[in-house]
Amino acid sequence: MNPSTSALEGRVAIVTGAGSGIGRATALAFSAAGAAVLVADLNGERAEAVTGEIEARGGRARACRVDVGDESSIAAMVAAAVDAFGGLDILHNNAADSDPALMARDRTVTEIDCEVWDRTMRVNLRGPMLGCKHAIPRMLERGGGAIVNTSSASGLTGDLARTAYAASKAGLQSLTQSVATQYGKQGIRCNAIAPGVIATPALEANVAPEALAIYRGSTLAPRLGRPEDIAAAVVFLASPAAEFITGQILPVDGGLLAHHPTVSELRALAGSPA
Protein backbone atom coordinates (compact mmCIF):
# COMPACT_ATOMS: atom_id res chain seq x y z
CA MET A 1 0.00 0.00 0.00
CA ASN A 2 1.76 3.14 -1.20
CA PRO A 3 -0.42 6.22 -0.67
CA SER A 4 -0.10 9.01 -3.22
CA THR A 5 2.33 11.74 -2.27
CA SER A 6 -0.56 14.19 -2.60
CA ALA A 7 -3.33 12.08 -1.03
CA LEU A 8 -3.52 14.38 2.02
CA GLU A 9 -2.48 17.66 0.41
CA GLY A 10 -3.86 20.60 2.37
CA ARG A 11 -4.95 18.45 5.33
CA VAL A 12 -3.95 18.97 8.95
CA ALA A 13 -3.26 15.91 11.11
CA ILE A 14 -2.52 15.18 14.75
CA VAL A 15 -0.65 12.03 15.76
CA THR A 16 -0.39 11.09 19.43
CA GLY A 17 2.41 8.86 20.63
CA ALA A 18 4.32 10.23 17.64
CA GLY A 19 7.77 10.21 19.21
CA SER A 20 8.63 6.63 18.26
CA GLY A 21 7.39 3.41 16.69
CA ILE A 22 4.05 3.44 14.89
CA GLY A 23 3.33 7.06 15.76
CA ARG A 24 6.62 8.29 14.32
CA ALA A 25 6.12 6.26 11.15
CA THR A 26 2.60 7.63 10.74
CA ALA A 27 3.67 11.23 11.29
CA LEU A 28 6.33 10.83 8.59
CA ALA A 29 3.84 9.12 6.26
CA PHE A 30 1.19 11.81 6.77
CA SER A 31 3.77 14.45 5.89
CA ALA A 32 4.94 12.51 2.83
CA ALA A 33 1.31 12.40 1.68
CA GLY A 34 1.06 16.19 1.91
CA ALA A 35 -0.41 16.84 5.36
CA ALA A 36 0.79 19.32 7.95
CA VAL A 37 1.39 17.35 11.15
CA LEU A 38 1.20 18.11 14.85
CA VAL A 39 3.65 15.63 16.38
CA ALA A 40 2.32 14.94 19.88
CA ASP A 41 4.04 12.83 22.51
CA LEU A 42 4.46 12.65 26.28
CA ASN A 43 8.20 12.89 25.64
CA GLY A 44 8.68 16.39 24.28
CA GLU A 45 12.25 15.75 23.12
CA ARG A 46 11.12 12.84 20.96
CA ALA A 47 8.33 14.95 19.50
CA GLU A 48 10.86 17.64 18.62
CA ALA A 49 13.15 15.06 16.99
CA VAL A 50 10.39 13.70 14.75
CA THR A 51 9.33 17.23 13.88
CA GLY A 52 12.91 17.89 12.83
CA GLU A 53 12.87 14.82 10.60
CA ILE A 54 9.72 16.02 8.86
CA GLU A 55 11.03 19.54 8.36
CA ALA A 56 14.34 18.21 7.04
CA ARG A 57 12.34 16.44 4.32
CA GLY A 58 10.52 19.63 3.40
CA GLY A 59 7.33 18.98 5.37
CA ARG A 60 5.34 21.13 7.78
CA ALA A 61 5.22 20.02 11.41
CA ARG A 62 5.02 21.27 14.98
CA ALA A 63 5.93 19.43 18.15
CA CYS A 64 3.60 19.24 21.13
CA ARG A 65 4.08 17.60 24.51
CA VAL A 66 0.81 15.97 25.56
CA ASP A 67 -0.48 13.81 28.39
CA VAL A 68 -3.38 12.11 26.62
CA GLY A 69 -5.10 11.13 29.86
CA ASP A 70 -5.40 14.78 30.92
CA GLU A 71 -8.30 16.66 29.34
CA SER A 72 -6.70 20.09 29.55
CA SER A 73 -3.58 18.73 27.83
CA ILE A 74 -5.67 17.24 25.01
CA ALA A 75 -7.60 20.49 24.59
CA ALA A 76 -4.33 22.40 24.36
CA MET A 77 -3.00 19.91 21.79
CA VAL A 78 -6.00 20.39 19.50
CA ALA A 79 -5.80 24.16 19.91
CA ALA A 80 -2.10 24.04 19.03
CA ALA A 81 -2.83 22.25 15.76
CA VAL A 82 -5.54 24.74 14.81
CA ASP A 83 -3.38 27.72 15.77
CA ALA A 84 -0.38 26.41 13.83
CA PHE A 85 -2.10 25.22 10.67
CA GLY A 86 -5.55 26.82 10.56
CA GLY A 87 -7.77 23.82 11.24
CA LEU A 88 -7.93 20.08 11.82
CA ASP A 89 -8.87 17.24 9.47
CA ILE A 90 -7.26 14.05 10.79
CA LEU A 91 -6.62 12.56 14.23
CA HIS A 92 -4.56 9.43 14.81
CA ASN A 93 -5.14 8.31 18.40
CA ASN A 94 -2.03 6.18 18.73
CA ALA A 95 -0.59 6.78 22.20
CA ALA A 96 -0.61 3.85 24.62
CA ASP A 97 1.12 3.16 27.93
CA SER A 98 3.82 0.63 27.07
CA ASP A 99 5.97 1.14 30.15
CA PRO A 100 7.68 -2.24 30.74
CA ALA A 101 7.17 -1.96 34.50
CA LEU A 102 3.43 -1.47 33.99
CA MET A 103 3.12 -4.24 31.41
CA ALA A 104 4.93 -6.67 33.70
CA ARG A 105 2.24 -6.10 36.34
CA ASP A 106 -0.64 -6.51 33.86
CA ARG A 107 -1.37 -10.12 34.75
CA THR A 108 -4.47 -12.34 35.00
CA VAL A 109 -7.74 -10.94 36.28
CA THR A 110 -7.17 -12.36 39.77
CA GLU A 111 -3.60 -11.07 39.96
CA ILE A 112 -3.94 -7.56 38.55
CA ASP A 113 -4.24 -4.61 40.90
CA CYS A 114 -6.54 -1.68 40.27
CA GLU A 115 -3.70 0.83 39.87
CA VAL A 116 -2.47 -1.07 36.80
CA TRP A 117 -6.01 -1.29 35.42
CA ASP A 118 -6.76 2.39 35.99
CA ARG A 119 -3.46 3.64 34.58
CA THR A 120 -3.85 1.50 31.46
CA MET A 121 -7.40 2.69 30.85
CA ARG A 122 -6.42 6.32 31.45
CA VAL A 123 -3.99 6.34 28.54
CA ASN A 124 -5.29 3.63 26.21
CA LEU A 125 -9.03 4.38 26.35
CA ARG A 126 -9.67 7.68 28.11
CA GLY A 127 -6.99 9.29 25.94
CA PRO A 128 -8.62 8.44 22.59
CA MET A 129 -12.03 9.40 23.97
CA LEU A 130 -10.70 12.82 24.94
CA GLY A 131 -8.99 13.15 21.57
CA CYS A 132 -12.27 12.52 19.79
CA LYS A 133 -14.18 14.81 22.16
CA HIS A 134 -11.97 17.80 21.42
CA ALA A 135 -11.03 17.10 17.80
CA ILE A 136 -14.50 16.48 16.37
CA PRO A 137 -15.85 20.04 16.90
CA ARG A 138 -12.84 21.46 15.05
CA MET A 139 -13.24 18.92 12.24
CA LEU A 140 -16.90 19.85 11.88
CA GLU A 141 -15.84 23.45 11.28
CA ARG A 142 -14.20 22.17 8.07
CA GLY A 143 -17.07 19.92 7.02
CA GLY A 144 -15.84 16.66 8.51
CA GLY A 145 -12.71 14.65 9.13
CA ALA A 146 -11.13 11.27 9.71
CA ILE A 147 -10.15 9.59 12.96
CA VAL A 148 -8.00 6.47 13.09
CA ASN A 149 -7.48 4.72 16.42
CA THR A 150 -4.66 2.28 17.13
CA SER A 151 -6.25 -0.76 18.71
CA SER A 152 -4.54 -4.17 18.75
CA ALA A 153 -5.01 -7.77 17.75
CA SER A 154 -5.06 -8.30 21.53
CA GLY A 155 -8.40 -6.49 21.59
CA LEU A 156 -9.91 -9.15 19.33
CA THR A 157 -8.86 -12.22 21.34
CA GLY A 158 -8.28 -13.39 24.88
CA ASP A 159 -4.79 -13.43 26.37
CA LEU A 160 -2.97 -15.40 29.03
CA ALA A 161 -2.07 -12.12 30.73
CA ARG A 162 -2.17 -8.40 29.80
CA THR A 163 -5.79 -8.27 30.94
CA ALA A 164 -5.99 -4.48 31.18
CA TYR A 165 -4.21 -3.88 27.89
CA ALA A 166 -6.47 -6.26 25.96
CA ALA A 167 -9.61 -4.84 27.57
CA SER A 168 -8.53 -1.27 26.82
CA LYS A 169 -8.01 -2.11 23.16
CA ALA A 170 -11.35 -3.91 22.93
CA GLY A 171 -12.98 -0.86 24.48
CA LEU A 172 -11.28 1.33 21.90
CA GLN A 173 -12.88 -0.72 19.14
CA SER A 174 -16.31 -0.05 20.65
CA LEU A 175 -15.49 3.65 20.98
CA THR A 176 -14.49 3.67 17.31
CA GLN A 177 -17.87 2.31 16.24
CA SER A 178 -19.75 4.65 18.57
CA VAL A 179 -18.01 7.72 17.14
CA ALA A 180 -18.64 6.49 13.59
CA THR A 181 -22.31 5.98 14.41
CA GLN A 182 -22.80 9.29 16.20
CA TYR A 183 -21.02 11.57 13.72
CA GLY A 184 -21.06 9.80 10.36
CA LYS A 185 -23.89 11.89 8.94
CA GLN A 186 -21.90 15.01 9.80
CA GLY A 187 -18.92 13.89 7.75
CA ILE A 188 -16.78 12.31 10.47
CA ARG A 189 -15.30 8.90 9.68
CA CYS A 190 -13.81 6.82 12.48
CA ASN A 191 -11.94 3.55 12.03
CA ALA A 192 -9.41 1.52 13.99
CA ILE A 193 -6.45 -0.57 13.05
CA ALA A 194 -5.56 -3.72 14.99
CA PRO A 195 -1.82 -4.28 14.61
CA GLY A 196 -0.34 -7.71 15.15
CA VAL A 197 3.27 -8.19 16.21
CA ILE A 198 5.11 -5.05 15.13
CA ALA A 199 8.86 -4.61 15.57
CA THR A 200 9.00 -1.49 17.75
CA PRO A 201 11.02 -0.47 20.83
CA ALA A 202 7.96 -1.31 22.94
CA LEU A 203 7.90 -4.87 21.58
CA GLU A 204 11.55 -5.41 22.40
CA ALA A 205 11.04 -4.04 25.91
CA ASN A 206 7.95 -6.08 26.75
CA VAL A 207 8.17 -9.45 24.98
CA ALA A 208 10.63 -12.19 25.90
CA PRO A 209 12.67 -13.70 23.05
CA GLU A 210 10.98 -17.09 23.53
CA ALA A 211 7.53 -15.54 23.22
CA LEU A 212 8.64 -13.50 20.25
CA ALA A 213 9.70 -16.70 18.50
CA ILE A 214 6.19 -18.09 18.97
CA TYR A 215 4.62 -14.90 17.61
CA ARG A 216 6.96 -15.02 14.63
CA GLY A 217 5.91 -18.60 13.93
CA SER A 218 2.23 -17.67 14.20
CA THR A 219 2.52 -14.77 11.74
CA LEU A 220 1.67 -15.99 8.24
CA ALA A 221 3.75 -13.31 6.55
CA PRO A 222 7.45 -14.15 6.19
CA ARG A 223 8.43 -11.39 8.63
CA LEU A 224 7.12 -9.47 11.60
CA GLY A 225 5.33 -6.21 11.00
CA ARG A 226 7.09 -2.88 10.73
CA PRO A 227 5.81 0.51 11.88
CA GLU A 228 5.65 1.55 8.23
CA ASP A 229 3.13 -1.24 7.53
CA ILE A 230 0.76 0.29 10.06
CA ALA A 231 1.45 3.84 8.88
CA ALA A 232 0.46 2.94 5.32
CA ALA A 233 -2.87 1.58 6.55
CA VAL A 234 -3.50 4.67 8.67
CA VAL A 235 -2.79 7.02 5.76
CA PHE A 236 -5.18 5.04 3.58
CA LEU A 237 -7.98 5.17 6.15
CA ALA A 238 -7.44 8.90 6.62
CA SER A 239 -7.44 9.62 2.88
CA PRO A 240 -10.28 10.31 0.42
CA ALA A 241 -9.69 6.82 -1.02
CA ALA A 242 -11.39 5.46 2.12
CA GLU A 243 -14.30 7.91 2.18
CA PHE A 244 -16.87 5.07 2.22
CA ILE A 245 -15.12 3.19 5.04
CA THR A 246 -16.15 3.97 8.61
CA GLY A 247 -16.80 2.11 11.84
CA GLN A 248 -14.40 -0.66 10.84
CA ILE A 249 -11.64 -2.51 12.69
CA LEU A 250 -8.85 -3.36 10.25
CA PRO A 251 -6.39 -6.04 11.39
CA VAL A 252 -2.90 -5.33 10.06
CA ASP A 253 -1.31 -8.41 11.52
CA GLY A 254 0.43 -10.47 8.86
CA GLY A 255 -2.29 -13.11 9.17
CA LEU A 256 -1.84 -13.61 12.92
CA LEU A 257 -5.58 -13.98 13.54
CA ALA A 258 -6.40 -15.85 10.33
CA HIS A 259 -5.53 -19.38 11.39
CA HIS A 260 -5.89 -22.14 13.95
CA PRO A 261 -4.11 -21.00 17.12
CA THR A 262 -1.80 -24.02 17.25
CA VAL A 263 -0.31 -23.44 13.80
CA SER A 264 3.13 -22.66 15.22
CA GLU A 265 3.26 -25.93 17.16
CA LEU A 266 1.96 -27.85 14.15
CA ARG A 267 4.71 -26.42 12.00
CA ALA A 268 7.34 -27.48 14.51
CA LEU A 269 5.79 -30.96 14.74
CA ALA A 270 5.98 -31.30 10.96
CA GLY A 271 9.57 -30.14 10.89
CA SER A 272 8.71 -27.06 8.85
CA PRO A 273 10.51 -23.76 9.43
CA ALA A 274 8.74 -21.41 11.84
**Cα separation, 25 vs 19, whole angstroms:** 9
Residue 185's contacts (CB-CB under 8 Å, 6 or more residues apart) are none
Per-residue pLDDT, averaged over 245-250, amounts to 99
Say if CB 50 and CB 75 are below 8 A apart: no
- List the beta bridge partners of residue 189: 146
Q: Which residues are catalytic?
A: 165
Per-residue pLDDT, averaged over 65-73, amounts to 99
Which domains, from first to last, does the chain contain? 12-207+225-256 (3.40.50.720)
Is 50 exceeded by the pLDDT of residue 1? no
Residue 178 has, within 13 A of its CA and on its CB side, a CA count of: 10
199-237 pLDDT tens trace: 888 887 888 888 888 888 889 999 999 999 999 999 999
**Cα separation, 142 vs 157, whole angstroms:** 37
79-118 pLDDT tens trace: 999 999 999 999 999 999 989 999 999 999 999 999 999 9
Buried b (16+ CB within 10 A) or exposed e, 14-35: bbbbbbbbbbbbbbbbbbbbbb
**Cα separation, 70 vs 59, whole angstroms:** 29
- Express as a percent the part of the chain with pLDDT over 70: 93
**Cα separation, 221 vs 267, whole angstroms:** 14
Is 70 exceeded by the pLDDT of residue 270? no
Is 70 exceeded by the pLDDT of residue 265? no
pLDDT at 274: 54
Quickly count: other Cβ atoms within 10 Å of residue 98's Cβ.
19
pLDDT at 3: 52
Closest to 106 in 3D by CA, of 173, 160, 172 = 160
139-171 pLDDT tens trace: 999 999 999 999 999 999 988 889 999 999 999
AA identity, residue 74: I
Q: How far is CA 32 from CA 10, 163, 184, in A?
A: 12, 37, 27
Per-residue pLDDT, averaged over 235-245, amounts to 98
49-66 pLDDT tens trace: 999 999 999 999 999 999
